[in-house]
Structure 1
Amino acid sequence: MSRVLILGGTGDARRLASLLIGGHDVVSSLAGRVRSPLLPPGEVRIGGFGGVDGLAAYLPGFDAVIDATHPFAARMTAHAVEACARVGVPLAVLRRPGWDEEPGDRWVRVPSVADAAEALSPGQRVFLTTGVRGLDAFAGGDQWFLIRCVDPPSVPLPPRSSVLLARGPFAYADELALLREHSIDVVVTKDSGGRATYPKLEAARTLGLPVVMITRPVLPPSASTVGTPEAAARWLESQAG
């Protein structure tokens, strides 16, 4: 039975832990940014490692690491790649595929939250689903924002805004009703991939609304990647073989 560290906090990480429990000794690590996280089965640690050195010091005794953090957790992934290389522990990065445009979509792809703020027009009503980090980038505009996030933001908010606390998955009919209720002009989001938050894009397509899509950070070139929890489980079995 191998000892596996899952760098988690995502639905894919919870699914992976469920797949591995019973056949492996699994420890899931959560950053602790969400006040009431959905916990995976098995042993869970919450909190950071203290950078690359702290993670490298934690790794002895583990047979493999699977980074199943959010696609935008670029710093954690970079730390995992460096720490695992230093200690000699095999690492796979689990990243679900990003979203693809479909007929009827009106997407504008931008590289950062700051660029997303620059892409907005004066006076627009914006559905903002980028999380609480980086909200200050939108503070200087005259748009109105409906900000959806899991926890109440602890950072300064745009002067004209309303906060909606909610956790996915979300349904298409509810997203469509939300956009209509608040007379939304544009959706701003990150290319997180997956089905849980995709319905807002379907609703935007139905209403003909533009979407400002923040592209994912580039993975370190040395990272070995898999696209699903099942593929991550197969990768783990290949390490044992």
Structure 2
Amino acid sequence: MNAEPSAADDLASSKERSWREAAAIDAAYKAGELDQEGWHEAVRALIEPAYLAADNPRAQSGHSGDPARWEHARRLLTRALPASGGDLLDVGCANGHLMETLTAWAAEDGIHIQPYGVDISLALAALARERCPQWASRIWHANAMGWQPPRTFAIVRTGLDYVPPQLRGAYVEHLLTQVVAPGGRLIVGVFNEERDQHLLEREVTMMGHHVGGRVTAPHRHPALLYKAFWLDISP
């Protein structure tokens, strides 16, 4: 007989559906059972089949909800954009759905952005190019950790779960120095976190970076919020 899920398990599942699998991959890296390349391959093998098997654009971007829930969970990113807009790189762009919807939402709010994308999955990058042929030349297949892009961008959006926890500092530094343009903005999010905690933001602050601002939106789980924050760099 299966045990009922605990409150902690319910919270963890609300934060990240594949949290057990992701935690196991992180543990294997920490134990030295996976190197950096092996960690990225394990994560790709976890998400790629699920995304490609999905029958709607939101699920192909890792979201289980309907269009209204997608908008509620992602539109807060428009409040993290600089009013001046600019070229925006979506790191981990998957099928390109966030590129599409964020561009449209920003336009409704009077902010003009030009979307670009990069994904570690060759198959998902190809899907994004197929779905968004008008932006096909702007979507790259690459591992953003260490990637040397052909240009820099006024705005870069990323998650910090795209690298092993131990490499987050190096990842943020790489994005700020090699991917974000001078005077640009690095947006971290959207991620799910407890209402009364600021662990990810504090982690970035302890790296020596100043958090320029943050946005939140209510989550279906009462203990959580959808969150994003950003770092602005000097011109």
The TM-score range, normalised by the shorter chain, is 0.3 to 0.5
**Which structure exhibits the higher relative contact order, with contacts defined as CA atoms closer than 8 Å and separated by 6 or more residues?**
1
Of Structure 1 and Structure 2, which has the larger fraction of its residues in helix? 2
TM-score by length of 2: 0.40
Give the number of the structure whose alpha-carbon radius of gyration is greater: 1
TM-score by length of 1: 0.39
